[in-house]
A = this chain, B = another copy of it.
Amino acid sequence: MPEPKQDRAIRTRHTILVAAAGVFEERGYQAATISEILTAANVTKGALYFHFSSKEQLAQGVLAIQDRGLAVPVRPCKTQELVDIAMLHAYRLQTDPMVRAGARLALDQGADAIDRVGPFQCWTAVVTGLLGKAQKQGELLPHVDPGETAEVLVGALAGVQAMSQATTAYENLPRTVAALLRHTLPSVVHSSVLTSLDLTTRRGHTVDKEMRDHPQDA
């Protein structure tokens, strides 16, 4: 049976995005060209323009895929869910070129044409929501403002990630993200929550494996 047209289109779109991610990650937004992306994707110009009308749209497509990283399995402890998002993102930056390209674009001041605010706002909204749930369950210290804490955590994670990229090509990232969480969470959650958390450097890999083994839970 021939592959349905729609499935093929979805596959082609994905192939193009993977190729675009590779080019954006290597060359940055300004230097990247559509013809490099065409070569990397090995598709026709017509196929590319059917899905994306411009370099901007390609970059937005890569950035949008970043948001996948925000889905993790639901946990009874919302603080652990937050830790899982951060540690999974660290693991994916090490292993997934698409996530690396998104991180590069979000911090690329040369990418004026694309919406770099969106990813920060999206992450901040997700973390604020999780902290709100944690607050309702009594996990947070009484003074915590979920919106402010989310802003601090998202900004700090972006920077720890950028420093790890610049200094070790992401090699030390799980360790530095875990260190960041150990430095911030004691100001946010009750000590009884702290003692129950898995903050080990393997956490990102563990969550990734869990999601591959049970994709329906994500």
Contacts and interface: CB of A to CB of B under 8 A. Distances in A.
A46 to B, nearest CB: 30
**Copies per complex?**
2
A179 interface: yes
Main secondary structure of the interface of A (DSSP, over half): helix
10 contacts: A28-B109, A107-B109, A108-B108, A109-B165, A149-B183, A151-B179, A155-B156, A155-B159, A158-B162, A162-B162
A9 interface: no
A184 interface: yes
B28 A120 contact: no
Interface in A82-113: 104, 106-110
B110 A166 contact: no
Interface residues of A, number: 42
Contact of A163 (B120, B167, B183, B186): B120
Interface of A: 27-28, 30-31, 104, 106-110, 116-117, 120-121, 148-149, 151-167, 176, 179-180, 182-184, 186-188
A151 B166 contact: no
B159 A106 contact: no
B183 A152 contact: yes
A19 to B, nearest CB: 18
Contact of A117 (B155, B167, B182): B167
A119 to B, nearest CB: 9
A166 B103 CA distance: 13
A128 to B, nearest CB: 14
A188 B183 contact: yes
A2 B20 CA distance: 58
Given A156-B159, A187-B186, A109 B109 contact: no
B179 A148 contact: yes
B167 A121 contact: yes
Nearest to A181: B152
A159 B27 CA distance: 21
A56 to B, nearest CB: 16
Nearest to A166: B116
